[in-house]
Amino acid sequence: MVVLLDPDGRPVGTDPKATVHTHDTPYHLAFSCYLLNQDGQVLITRRALTKVAWPGVWTNSVCGHPAPGESFADAIRRRARHELGMDIETPELVLGGFSYRAVDASGIVEWEKCPVYVARAASECQPNPDEVCDFQWVEAPSVLRAADAMPRAFSPWMGEQLAHQELRARLERG
**SS3 at position 63:** strand
Q: Tell me the one-letter amino acid at 147.
A: A
Please pick, among 33, 70, 92, 112, the residue that the annotation labels catalytic. 112
Q: Which residues contact 173 (CB under 8 A, 6 or more apart)?
A: 40
Question: Residues marked as binding?
Answer: 21, 28, 65, 83, 110, 112
Q: Is 63 a catalytic residue?
A: yes
CA angle 116, 167, 159 (to 5 degrees): 75
Question: Residues marked as binding for Mg(2+)?
Answer: 83
In degrees rounded to 5, what are phi and psi of residue 3?
-85, 120
Question: Residues marked as binding for Mn(2+)?
Answer: 21, 28, 65, 110, 112
Short-list 36, 51, 128, CA closest to 82:
128
Please pick, among 33, 63, 114, 125, the residue that the annotation labels catalytic. 63
- Tell me the C-alpha distance between 35 and 76, whole Å: 11
Q: Is 70 a catalytic residue?
A: no
Active-site residues: which are they? 63, 112
